[in-house]
Amino acid sequence: MGRLVMKFGGTSVADLDRIRNVARHVKREVEAGHQVAVVVSAMAGKTDELVGYVEDASPDYDRAEYDMVVSSGEQVTSGLLAIVLQEMGVPARSWCGWQVPIRTTGMHAAARISAIPPENLLKSWDEGRVNVIAGFQGISPEGRITTLGRGGSDTSAVAVAAALNARCDIYTDVDGVYTTDPRIVSKARRIERISYEEMLELASLGAKVLQTRSVELAMVHKVPLRVRSSFDAPDSPLQVMEDGRGPGTLVCDEDEVMEEQVVTGIAYSRDEAQVAVRRVKDKPGIAASIFGPLAEAGISVDMIVQNVSTDGFANITFTVPRKELRRAVEVLEREKINIGFEGLDTADNVAKVSIVGIGMRSHAGVAAKMFRTLSEKGVNIEAITTSEIKVSVLIDEAWLELAIRALHSAYGLDAA
Amino acid sequence: MGRLVMKFGGTSVADLDRIRNVARHVKREVEAGHQVAVVVSAMAGKTDELVGYVEDASPDYDRAEYDMVVSSGEQVTSGLLAIVLQEMGVPARSWCGWQVPIRTTGMHAAARISAIPPENLLKSWDEGRVNVIAGFQGISPEGRITTLGRGGSDTSAVAVAAALNARCDIYTDVDGVYTTDPRIVSKARRIERISYEEMLELASLGAKVLQTRSVELAMVHKVPLRVRSSFDAPDSPLQVMEDGRGPGTLVCDEDEVMEEQVVTGIAYSRDEAQVAVRRVKDKPGIAASIFGPLAEAGISVDMIVQNVSTDGFANITFTVPRKELRRAVEVLEREKINIGFEGLDTADNVAKVSIVGIGMRSHAGVAAKMFRTLSEKGVNIEAITTSEIKVSVLIDEAWLELAIRALHSAYGLDAA
């Protein structure tokens, strides 16, 4: 018996049959004695339809009006789920973001949650109801509807859990977080427990199972977060135990991750492109002259490598998101005189592979093993970045699957 | 220059091209110097889609959740119209019912507007914006979304006009109110001006151009109401003049209707069925024993005729909406012992024809002319009801078109 927030994404509520399946999951938890709040996304495809209308109305649309239109999708799902729950004999009511209220900043289409006063939801719980909350949306200080940006429903769910001092189960179309993408490595294993820090790295490095912001929020507020499948039979005995064992993957404090691996997971991203700025003067301020204009243009730069030659010139190489490559080149060409480079080389056939694990902090040689493994397979490394708990390398995209499989095996992640 | 509320129904905002057409109508009025509020319905078909979801979710749905789901349709249209107006250089913002706020009773799916504080809309006007308001919806005393029932957007528009002390133009798919249905009488004429009272009778007797409640509200608050076509070219010179002349039909105070006809319009309804209760005791309380149970069952009874025979028995005949006929018979059969009738006869091939005109008050013989005209055509009258400004007769549905044409001609309504 406890407080529980359950979050269901768009594919889990794609039609009324699936909404009924969601309701059975909710009913099971209510019957187990939990106080339940449910956060729902729009029915799959609805948000795209609504965004399509907005973009058709004007390419240069007002984001406040975008929020007005697009937030309606979650509103529909929350009402329908409340009706289906009532039909199953489970008292329930729906809540729009403004009704809860989920207070956000006024940055329309990309708002951040600032506060969730829990009184209304707690009162509704006291009255014995399941609270069904429209995800992805809130209300600005000016009283207008805001949205949190794509995938924001995960963030809504974690924020609601934090406000209610509840744990949070994220139901999705996979049955947990895997050591790597099972479509690439058939021996990928489901991870039983993973620390917030590792999950944050995996999410930001390309694993799509959770929104980065929702993991951050869970970490800050210490919300126990479980990723599990909405396609499990709702009445299956896949219950969460008192000790935290259960279906899916538990994202939790490092202390609670019992069996610590050196490397917990391997993430990858094909969304990479490389730019090499050839023969710039190796002098103070040269990096600023390149990365300042890119930052102003809103282009995020990731891995940076600088090779200094002996004649006072340097080559600076970095990566940008693949769809920003053309714009990055435009910005640099415009700044060519200021920067003073000889030429630009670009490549969009690169990919990033990252190993992540809190065990790296206490184990030496983890990165060296990565480089050796790739070298043995003849994979050339274009660039490297590291943090306390991750190592990322940039490689030719053609070698991506090969590299992931080799690393998965080398770090002992393969399923028996 | 003045304050104007413009209302556009579902077919007028069915897709983005039509929404752009609506925006051009709005822009024309803004450029003429008006302060404009626009009330919009959901895009045609959307409300049916949403109602379909709700009914699929549960045949016995919670009406508060119905409102949550169904109100989203108008929310989408209001956001889209605001974007399109901005794109055309007309400053605009959208409003949900709860944002205005449009305060209503808590009777979900059939709420009534209780108050519209005008401050927010006036402030937005002062800032130079067009207010685009989602019709059909409001907020209950409990802070939940309500809807006003089908066709409620007309009512929203009139209520907003009353709150803002504005006139109200209802844009629809016809170019005004006609003397009768032009599909039946090709010589039907558009009425230039009609009094609230006459419009109210026509609307409640079957003319579908305006919601009865919206006319009531306009009458009480003396809101000048114009019915006009949204398919007119938006830049046509069909302007409303200072003296009230203009396109469509003006619904206004009786005093302002200049050329008074004896009969202004002819309405009809095929939605009628007749029940005859045969041989009941002619004693006090007999009517109550029949109509009490029907009222409790929510069946509205219209035309009632009682024929008393000399032997102390009577036949009581009345009409009900055609789709309620079966239920009415069930109720009466259940009460057979209490009522004490010999048998029931029913007919669902009846129709009601009504003549309406404030001139009847001061002209004698109007009803007599109706009966004579129908008699000359061999049309038998089953029942009659009258009010100060209307006469309705029940006839065999087969004679309906014939009767309407004959009356239209007899009262001098045919176009030259």
Rounded to an integer, what distance in angstroms lies between the CA atom of residue A265 and that of residue A268? 10
B415 in contact with chain A, both atoms CB, cutoff 8 A:
no
Residues of B in contact with A109 (CB under 8 A): none
Q: How far is B18 from chain A (nearest CA, A)?
A: 11
- Alpha-carbon distance of A120 to A101, in angstroms, equals 8
Tell whether A13 lies on the interface with B, counting CB pairs under 8 A: no
pLDDT of the residue at A239? 61
Query: Distance between alpha carbon B44 and the CA centroid of its chain, in Å?
Result: 18
Q: Is A268 helix (H, G, I), strand (E, B) or coil?
A: strand
Q: Is the pLDDT of residue A145 over 90?
A: yes
Chain B contact for A87 (CB, 8 A cutoff)? yes
| Contacts A69 to B, Cβ<8 Å | 75-76, 79-80, 83
Residue with tokens 């409001």: B138
Pairwise CA distance, residues B414 & B416, whole Å: 6
Question: Count of CB atoms within 10 A of residue A347's CB?
Answer: 17
Q: Which residues pair with A171 in a beta bridge?
A: A8, A228
- A149-163, A203-217, B103-117, B347-361: least confident range: A203-217
Show Cβ contacts of residue A310 under 8 Å, excluding neighbours closer than 6 positions: none
What is the per-residue pLDDT across B71-118, written as a single tens digit (0 to 9) for each? 999 999 999 999 999 999 999 999 999 999 999 999 999 999 999 999
Residues of A in contact with B54 (CB under 8 A): 79-80, 83
Q: What are phi and psi of B366, to 5 degrees?
A: -70, -45
CB-CB neighbors (< 8 A) of A53 in chain B: 16, 76, 80
Give the chain A residue whose CA is nearest to the CA of B63: A83
Model ipTM value: 0.85
Chain A residues with CB under 8 Å of B16 CB are 53, 56-57
* Residue written as token pair 């110097």: B33
Task: Please give the residue of chain A at the shortest CA–CA distance from B88.
Answer: A58
Residue type, A72: S
Q: CA of A93, closest CA in chain B: separation in Å?
A: 7
* CB pair distance less than 8 Å for B75 and A80: no
Hey, are the CB atoms on B60 and A143 less than 8 Å from each other?
Answer: no
Q: Is B82 on the interface with A (CB under 8 A)?
A: yes
Interchain proximity B58–A94, CB inside 8 Å: no
The predicted structure's pLDDT at residue A298:
87
Nearest chain B CA: its distance from A158 CA (Å):
24
Cβ of residue A68 closer than 8 Å to a chain B Cβ: yes
pLDDT mean across residues, chain A: 92
B117 touches A at CB < 8 Å: no
Q: Are A404 and A374 in contact (CB under 8 A)?
A: no
Residue A62 near chain B (CB below 8 Å): yes
The partner residues of B37 in beta bridges, in order of sequence, read B5, B131
Report the largest interatomic distance among the alpha carbons of chain A, rounded to a whole angstrom. 79
A23 contact residues in B (CB cutoff 8 A): none
CB-nearest partner of A82 from B62, B82, B143 = B62
pLDDT at B221: 95
Contacts of B60 in chain A (CB under 8 A): 87
**Lowest-confidence region among A144-153, A269-278, A302-311, B122-131:** A302-311
Nearest to A72 among B72, B83, B86 (CB): B72
* Average pLDDT score over residue span A188-196: 93
CA distances from B318 to A239, A264, B345, B375 (A): 62, 80, 11, 22
Q: State how far the Cα of A403 lies from the Cα of A392, in Å rounded to an integer.
A: 12
Distance of alpha carbon A330 from alpha carbon A336, whole angstroms? 10
Give A36's strand partners.
A4
Query: Among B72, B23, B142, which Cα is nearest to A71's?
Result: B72
User: Is A69 touching B (CB cutoff 8 A)?
Assistant: yes
Pairwise CB contact (< 8 Å): B60 & A144: no
Q: Rounded to whole angstroms, how far apart are CA atoms B94 and B85? A: 11
- From B54, B68, B79, residue closest to A65, measured CB to CB: B79
For the stretch A346-385, pLDDT in tens is 999 999 999 999 988 888 889 999 999 999 999 999 889 8
Does residue B84 belong to the interface with chain A, where contact is any CB pair within 8 Å?
yes
Q: Which residue has the tokens 């009409």?
A: B319
Q: Does B72 touch chain A (CB under 8 A)?
A: yes
Least CB–CB distance from B87: residue in A19, A58, A93: A58
Q: Give the residue from chain B lying closest to A69, CA to CA.
A: B76
Q: In what order do the strands lie in the sheet with B225-229?
A: B92-95, B130-134, B35-40, B3-8, B167-172, B225-229, B249-252, B193-195
User: Which of A50, A56, A86 has the CB atom closest to B76's CB atom?
Assistant: A50
- Report the Cα A48 to chain-centroid distance in Å: 19
Integer-rounded Cα Rg, in Å, for chain B is 24
| Cβ atoms within 10 Å, residue A189 | 17
- In 3-state terms chain B splits into helix, strand, coil percentages (rounded to 5) of 40, 25, 35
**For residue B18, what is the nearest residue in chain A, using CA coordinates?**
A57
d(CA B168, CA B151): 16
DSSP secondary structure of B196-239: HHHHHHHHHTT--SS-HHHHHHHHHHT--EEEEETTS-TTSS-P
Is A108 in contact with A67 (CB distance < 8 Å)? yes
- Write out chain B residues lying below 8 Å of A73, CB-based: 72
- Percent with pLDDT over 90 in chain A: 77
Q: How far is B415 from chain A (nearest CA, A)?
A: 42
Q: Return per-residue pLDDT of chain B as tens, 416 residues.
A: 699 999 999 999 999 999 999 999 999 999 999 999 999 999 999 999 999 999 999 999 999 999 999 999 999 999 999 999 999 999 999 999 999 999 999 999 999 999 999 999 999 999 999 999 999 999 999 999 999 976 699 999 999 999 999 999 999 888 899 999 999 999 999 999 999 999 999 988 877 788 889 999 999 999 999 999 887 777 665 566 556 667 899 999 988 887 667 899 999 999 999 999 999 988 888 889 999 999 998 898 999 888 877 788 889 999 999 999 999 999 999 999 999 999 999 999 999 999 999 988 888 889 999 999 999 999 999 889 888 899 999 999 999 999 999 999 999 999 87
pLDDT at residue A88 above 60? yes
Residues of A in contact with B143 (CB under 8 A): 99
Q: Which residue, among A131, A264, A134, A119, has the nearest Cα to A202 in the 3D structure? A: A264
Asked whether the beta carbons of residue B86 and residue A58 sit closer than 8 angstroms, the reply is: yes
User: Is residue B121 within 8 angstroms of chain A, CB to CB?
Assistant: no
CA atoms within 13 A on the CB side of B147: 25
- Give the minimum alpha-carbon distance from B63 to chain A in angstroms, rounded to a whole number: 9
Tokens of A140: 């600005």
- With vertex at residue A103, the alpha carbon angle to CA A97 and CA A107, rounded to the nearest 5 degrees, is 100
Which of B16, B60, B71, B72 to probe by mutation at the A interface, max A CB count within 10 Å?
A: B72
Residues B59 and B106: their CA atoms lie apart, in Å, by 21
Collect all residues of chain B within an 8 Å Cβ-Cβ radius of residue A87: 57-58, 60-61
Chain B residues near residue A74 by CB distance under 8 angstroms: none
CB A217 within 8 A of CB A192: no
Q: Please check the confidence at residue A238 and state whether its pLDDT lies above 60.
A: no
Test A87 with B56 for CB contact under 8 angstroms.
no
Residue A99 in contact with partner chain B when CB distance is under 8 A: yes
Please say if the pLDDT value at position A261 is more than 80: no
Percent of chain A exceeding pLDDT 70 equals 96
**Contact assignment for A68 to B62 by CB distance below 8 Å:** no
Closest alpha carbon within chain B to A61: B83
From B61, B72, B143, residue closest to A83, measured CB to CB:
B61
**What is the model's pLDDT at position B282?**
83
Contacts of B86 in chain A (CB under 8 A): 58, 61-62, 65
User: HSE on the CB side for A100, CA within 13 Å?
Assistant: 35
Name the residue facing A87 among B58, B66, B72 (closest C-beta): B58
Domains delineated in chain A:
3-256 (3.40.1160.10), 265-410 (3.30.2130.10)
CB contact under 8 A, B57 and A84: yes
State whether residue B145 sits within 8 Å of chain A by CB: yes
Question: Is A131 in the B-facing interface, judged by CB distances under 8 Å?
Answer: no
Sheet holding A390-396, edge to edge: A304-308, A313-320, A265-281, A343-356, A390-396, A383-387
Three-point CA angle B223, B225, B227, nearest 5°: 170
Structure tokens given for B348: 């669902």
The confidence score (pLDDT) of residue B261 equals: 77
Chain A environment of B50 (Cβ under 8 Å): 76
Residue A83 to residue B57, Cβ atoms within 8 A: yes
